[in-house]
Structure 1
């Protein structure tokens, strides 16, 4: 499987702007700029997209891991925070809140750790990845 996206940029790094389009067109000429990345401008940015990718991949992987262990989650919600410091993306922090009927806390933590280590996005990211998993 291969997926693709296209970025177009016009102008200088600080004053210019661009747009992103994904193969599915979920993003379709979605604006990004210096302000949307480093300030509070309208549009997206690479770190936000990395966070969405990691949260989505981890959460789906966890659903598969739980299913293989005999559990069906009622709900899984993951917030991912990507940290950019001094021009380097240094970490990805996953915050999971889950409702999984019948699972012990120990088994839940084991499944969450498995998903964190083995989701394809975690494997692709060369940075520190941390996880807080709360069973509700």
Structure 2
């Protein structure tokens, strides 16, 4: 069995509404509670970071699957949305919606569209972050598949 270790350091100087520093091998950023939750809104926050982890894992997994199938992609982008619910003071990350936008090479839409749609679904089930949060956070997909004009 092979293991990979990732490390993260946070300096949190004070109480709830402080601003901290987060550092990983390739990322340095300020962190705080978002303004939607009555925080200072400086830098990023856990809600955005979970959304970012889910979206980056998903898009990289989808890109690898498209490449392995030799599907000609002109452009691959994603917009993702995280939905957090606050009920009686309890904060719950309810849902993440991925909206991948796959633009195929000219002339490929008719023969590749169904395959690409299947891969958009398979990528969500294969992504390690999706699997890690499975059963706790609902993952929705709203893919757009089209071809270059």
Distance in 1, matches of 2:64 and 2:32, equals: 36
Map 1:93-112 onto structure 2 (within 5 A): 93-101=97-105, 102-103=108-109, 104-112=112-120
What value does the CA root-mean-square deviation take over the aligned residues? 1.9
1:133 maps to which of 118, 136, 143: 143
- TM-score with structure 1 length normalisation? 0.85
Q: Is contact 2:19–2:42 with CA below 8 Å preserved after alignment? A: no
5+ residue gaps, structure 2: none
- 2:8 pairs with 1:5: yes
1:124 aligned to which of 132, 136, 146: 132
Separation of aligned partners in 2, 1:37 and 1:7: 22
SS of 1:83's partner is: strand
The alpha-carbon deviation at position 35 of structure 1 amounts to 4.2
Equivalent position SS for 1:34:
coil
Structure 1 unaligned blocks of 5 or more: none
Task: Tell me how many residue pairs correspond in the alignment.
Answer: 132
Match of 1:92 in 2: 96
Do structure 1's residue 34 and structure 2's residue 42 form an aligned pair? no
Structure 1 residue 58 displacement after superposition: 0.8
Taking structure 2 as the reference length, what is the TM-score of the superposition? 0.79
Verify the 8 A CA contact 2:34 2:45 in the aligned structure 1. no
Task: Answer yes or no: is 1:22 the counterpart of 2:24.
Answer: yes
Q: What is residue 79 of structure 1 aligned with on the other side? A: 79
Runs of 4+ in 1 over 3 A off after TM superposition: none
Distance 1:22 1:36 in 2: 24
Instruction: Verify the 8 A CA contact 1:36 1:43 in the aligned structure 2.
Output: no
Q: Distance in 2 between matches of 1:67 and 1:17?
A: 41
